[in-house]
Amino acid sequence: MKKSDSPVIPLVWLLVVVVLDQATKAWVMERFAMFELLPVIPGLFNLTYLTNTGAAFGMLAGAQSIWRQVFFVGVAALAIGVMVFSYRQFRSQGKIFAHAIGLIAGGAVGNLIDRLRFGAVVDFLDFYVGSHHWPAFNVADSAICVGVGLFILGSILYPPQESEKGQ
């Protein structure tokens, strides 16, 4: 394995994201009552304490609890497997992919821990403009979004090399 192929970068990001995610969620659960709001930037940003039993934006929140849990644990396990496979495929294309994969995997693990511990994901970052609120989210969700953005950026900056097709 070449030095550039080392899995250290994604593993470090995975650990950093999981620790920050779980620490911030523990802080919120300790300091806030459910649904409590703390305005940080009036008209733009609150801290709050919410839980989401569904997927992104509350999808599947009404499904039966056991099947919802099985589904989300399976999806998280699949996502982590896809990240391992993706790392093997993209590691030689640039370090941006290692950072992206680590962030996405860390976010998946952070939210999986919540689902296994609480049956729901803890969300606390509430951005809004006027009465229009973005769905509340957390550090794990942010890491997934940043990781996907980096992955897309890497795909634009470092497109896969065309293979020789016998021309």
Paired with 33 in beta bridges are none
21 is catalytic: no
Paired with 129 in beta bridges are 132
141 is catalytic: yes
DSSP state string for the chain: --GGG-THHHHHHHHHHHHHHHHHHHHHHHH--TT-EEEEETTTEEEEEEEESSSGGGTTTTS-HHHHHHHHHHHHHHHHHHHHHHHHHHGGG-HHHHHHHHHHHHHHHHHHHHHHHHSSEEEEEEEEETTEEPPPB-HHHHHHHHHHHHHHHHHHHSPPPPPP---
Q: Which of 21, 114, 123, 126 is catalytic?
A: 123
Contact indicator for 121, 28 with CB cutoff of 8 Å: no
Q: Which of 21, 114, 126, 141 is catalytic?
A: 141
The residues annotated with a catalytic role in the active site are 123, 141
